[in-house]
Structure formats: structure tokens, C-alpha cells
């Protein structure tokens, strides 16, 4: 006898999330069809003799929560470390474009040099521009998976904590090593390393606990 079960799924933010949950459900023997919507937060599953617990467990393994419950958190999931590293890498690329570009502009463009901004002012602007370019890059990447409006919404909703900590780490290293907002060939690598390592554990935790990833 065919049954239909409705399951509340939390943590989905885009069509890519919906597809992951749908695929996880439809590989279960006995599941005939699964309709999953990130907008409504529901998975409607048509199945034969499959328990809700089995379906809920399959959803949780993808990183999303069911009825407020997810898989037990731990730091030993190598696949999550790899995925969170991938996410962090793209965030770093986006942040670096705006951050390095701003510092370079105040370092090499005569008009901006003449403004005599303090290092703190330049770094504050660099951090802001870095976050903006990161959001722009995320929107571009996500636009391959969804319409532009939704891609922008998801990019805006992605963790500002990660981007702010990344920007703060890069600019702090720059200030400590150069004494100001300066770019040299030898300071860029330490800045990138600090920018990557600082938010990486947080991104792992966020991805593992909430399944928040759209790459």
C-alpha cells in the first residue's frame, strides 16, 4: 500500500539544498517519489513500507535537521572538512579581491594617497569592500544553480561571521607585519593563510550542524 508522509526539513536555503534532500530520500528502497521545497521547508514523500525514522535519518545525513533535530555534532567528519574548506576558499577569493584592491588603491594611486587616511580607516574600507566582493562572487557562483534574485538572497544570507572574521584576520596580519595598511610580496601569503584558517572551523561547525552550504 502506497503512503504519503510529510516531513519538516530545516536548514535548506536553495534549490541545491532541495535536490540533495530529494536524492537522499529517493535512494531509499521503498521510496517512490519525493517532492522537496526549500521555500516551504517540507519534504512530501510517497513510499511503501518505509518508516518516517528511516527517511528522517537519511535527511539528517545530508546535514539538514528534521523536526529540530540533526545528527550528533563532532569534529571528525573528513567530508565536511573538505566541503567547508571549499566554501572557505571561495569566500577568501571574494574577500581578497575587494580587500587587496582597496589597500593597493590607497598605496599606489596619488589622489587617494593625498587623502592621508589612517591605516585603520583604510582597513575598515578594505574589510567592507572585501565583504561586498565576496557576496558578489557568491551570487555569481550560485546563479549557475538558481535564478539571479534567489542567488543574491542566498549570498546575502550566508554567514557574515565567517566573512568578518576572515577580513579581520587578514588585516590584523597586515598591520602586525607591515605596521599599516600595505601590500608587499611577502605579506600576501600570511594574510591569505590567516584569512583561510580563521573562519574554517566555524564554517565546519555551521555546515555540520545546520547543513548550510550552497556550493
Examine residue 71 and state whether it is found in any structural domain, yes or no: no
Beta strand segments in the chain, E: 3-10, 31-37, 42-47, 65-66
Examine residue 73 and state whether it is found in any structural domain, yes or no: no
Dist. CA 196–CA 211, nearest whole Å: 20
Q: Over the stretch 19-33, which tens digit does the pLDDT of each residue have?
A: 889 999 999 999 999
Dist. CA 78–CA 179, nearest whole Å: 38
The cell numbers describing 186, all together, are 611577502
The boundaries of the domain holding residue 107 are: 78-210
pLDDT exceeds cutoff 60 at 91? yes
One domain, residues 201 and 108:
yes
Q: Over the stretch 94-127, which tens digit does the pLDDT of each residue have?
A: 999 999 999 999 999 999 999 999 999 999 999 9
One domain, residues 114 and 197:
yes
**pLDDT given at position 166:** 96
The CATH number of the domain holding residue 13 is 3.30.70.100
pLDDT exceeds cutoff 80 at 183? yes
**Looking at the 3D structure of the chain, how many domains does it have?**
2
**pLDDT given at position 138:** 86
Examine residue 72 and state whether it is found in any structural domain, yes or no: no
Q: Averaged over 74-103, what is the pLDDT?
A: 91
Residue 146's SS3 state is: coil
Of 39-43, 66-70, 132-136, 203-207, the range with the lowest mean pLDDT is 66-70
Q: With 0-12 CB in 10 A as exposed, 13-18 as middle and 19+ as buried, what is 149?
A: exposed
Amino acid at each position: 500500500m502506497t503512503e504519503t508522509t510529510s516531513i519538516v526539513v530545516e536548514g535548506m536555503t536553495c534549490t541545491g539544498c532541495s535536490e540533495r534532500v530529494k536524492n537522499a530520500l529517493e535512494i531509499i528502497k521503498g521510496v517512490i517519489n519525493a517532492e522537496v521545497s526549500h521555500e516551504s521547508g517540507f519534504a512530501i514523500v510517497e513510499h511503501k513500507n518505509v518508516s518516517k525514522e528511516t527517511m528522517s535519518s537519511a535527511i539528517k545525513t545530508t546535514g539538514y535537521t528534521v523536526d529540530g533535530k540533526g545528527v550528533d555534532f563532532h569534529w571528525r567528519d573528513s567530508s565536511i572538512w573538505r566541503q567547508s574548506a571549499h566554501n572557505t576558499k571561495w569566500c577568501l577569493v571574494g574577500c581578497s579581491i575587494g580587500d587587496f584592491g582597496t589597500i593597493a588603491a590607497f598605496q599606489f594611486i596619488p589622489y587617494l594617497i593625498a587623502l592621508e587616511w589612517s591605516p585603520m580607516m583604510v582597513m575598515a574600507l578594505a574589510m567592507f569592500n572585501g565583504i561586498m566582493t565576496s557576496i558578489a562572487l557568491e551570487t555569481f557562483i550560485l546563479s549557475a544553480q538558481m535564478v539571479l534574485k534567489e542567488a543574491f538572497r542566498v549570498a546575502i544570507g550566508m554567514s557574515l561571521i565567517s566573512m568578518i572574521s576572515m577580513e579581520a584576520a587578514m588585516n590584523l596580519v597586515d598591520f602586525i607585519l607591515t605596521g599599516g595598511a600595505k601590500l608587499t610580496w611577502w605579506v600576501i601569503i600570511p594574510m591569505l593563510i590567516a584569512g583561510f584558517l580563521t573562519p574554517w572551523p566555524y564554517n565546519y561547525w555551521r555546515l555540520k550542524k545546520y547543513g548550510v552550504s550552497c556550493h
